[in-house]
A = this chain, B = another copy of it.
């Protein structure tokens, strides 16, 4: 069985870009998830969505590991390609490739998805008949992405964020990609200005709700020309997400 590849082109408008005329990673992630969502929507006349709806299930994202050669630029038409890589009883792994306008690969990611049972609020077993529609091979063993580096609790800086209307998405919780923005925004503007993102590993533990207050613990470590920032997104003393970012100097 061969995984079904699905791809979409996307023009990068100025109004979604940063001061470097580049698309930020949080926005690229939104576009990538939009493409995988479209694959699902177009699969055998919406069969996946119908099944999920009937069974009160929802896709959730557990972790994502991103490698970035360069970010998309204003005016560039990128191509986002995705396919289900493999699945086991609980997890489905999805691969993404991002191609620049000249056809070279500028980024890729592996994202771990699962099904949430909306009534019981816990993970549900994947249904082979449904997942087979994506053409991904079943694997008995579980693939593990590496854990994101943790910030050093004693030396980490703490940044507090309030939650606003614009952070909440249709699932009535803070959108996943806002966590990435918080991690970035916990760093000095000068730092972000002078560095280019090359890697992100984000692991989601617990959703953030609209009446919570967020603390982001962040630290920076340097090894030669490579810089790693480690972030813990937390509410009420509990970890909601861990993020490791790797940077090079611009």
Q: Give residues in A with beta carbon < 8 Å to B.
A: 13-19, 21, 24, 26, 30-31, 33-34, 37, 163-166, 168-170, 172, 181, 184-185, 187, 189, 192-193, 210
Check A34–B19 contact: CB distance below 8 A: no
Contact (A185, B170) CB under 8 Å given A14-B34, A14-B37: no
Residues of B within 8 A of A172 (CB): 19
Closest 5 CB pairs of A and B: A15-B30, A164-B185, A165-B192, A19-B168, A165-B189
Nearest neighbor of A187 in chain B, beta-carbon distance: B165
| Chain A binding surface, main DSSP class | helix
CA distance A30 to B16 in the complex (A): 9
Residues of B within 8 A of A18 (CB): 165-166, 168-169
Residues of B within 8 A of A169 (CB): 18-19
Residues of B within 8 A of A187 (CB): 165
Nearest neighbor of A14 in chain B, beta-carbon distance: B34
Cβ-neighbour of A166 out of B21, B37, B184 (below 8 A): B184
Q: A14-B37, A165-B187 given. 18 additional CB < 8 A pairs? A: A15-B30, A15-B31, A15-B34, A17-B170, A18-B168, A19-B168, A19-B169, A21-B170, A163-B189, A164-B181, A164-B184, A164-B185, A164-B189, A165-B192, A165-B193, A166-B181, A166-B185, A189-B210
Nearest neighbor of A21 in chain B, beta-carbon distance: B170
Q: Give the distance to chain B from A164, nearest Cβ to Cβ, in Å.
A: 4
Residues of B within 8 A of A26 (CB): 166
CA distance A201 to B192 in the complex (A): 33
Cβ-neighbour of A184 out of B21, B24, B165, B193 (below 8 A): B165
